[in-house]
Structure 1
Amino acid sequence: MFMDLQQLNLNWWMIAFVAFCSVTFIQLIYYWGFFSRLAFFKPKEKSTSQTHPVSVVICARDEAGNLVKNLPGVLFQQYPSTHELIVVNHNSQDDTRYLLEEFKKTFKNLVIVNLEQEAKGIPGKKYPLSIGIREAHHEILLLTDADCVPATEHWMYKMQDAYHPGTEVVLGYGAYAKRPGLLNKLIRFETFHTALQYLSFAIAGIPYMGVGRNLSYKRELFLRNKGFSSINHIPGGDDDLFIHKVANKNNTAIVIDPEAFTLSEAKKKFGDWYRQKNRHYSTGKYYKPGIRFLLGAYSLSQFLFYPLFILSLVTFNWQLTLAVFGVRFLSQAFILYKCMARLQEKDLWAWWWLLDIWMFFYYCIFAPALWKKPQQTWL
Structure 2
Amino acid sequence: MIMFWQKKEFQEAYFDTLNNFFKFNKRTHFFEIDFSKPWWYTILKRKFRYIFLVSSEVLQATFESLVPLGFGIAISQQKMEYLTYIIFGYIGLEIINRLAVYSNGLTIAEVQGSIALEAQNFFLTVDPIFHSTKSSGAIVSKMQAGGREFIMMMNMICFQIIPTVISYITVTLTLIYFNGYLGLVSVTFFILITLLTSFFRYINSNSLVKKWIGAREKYAAITTENLIQNSHIRSTFATIETIQRTEKLVRNAYNTRNIMFMGGAMVTFFARMLYIVSVFVIGYGILDLVQKGVINSVIGTTVIITYMSGSRQILRIGDTVGDVTESMANIADLFQFITNFGKQSFPVLSGDTIDQIQ
Question: Between Structure 1 and Structure 2, whose CA radius of gyration is higher?
Answer: 2
TM-score, normalised relative to structure 2 = 0.26
TM-score, normalised relative to structure 1 = 0.25
Compare the two structures and name the one with the higher strand fraction: 1
Task: Select the structure with the greater relative contact order (CA < 8 A; seq sep ≥ 6).
Answer: 2
Compare the two structures and name the one with the higher helix fraction: 2
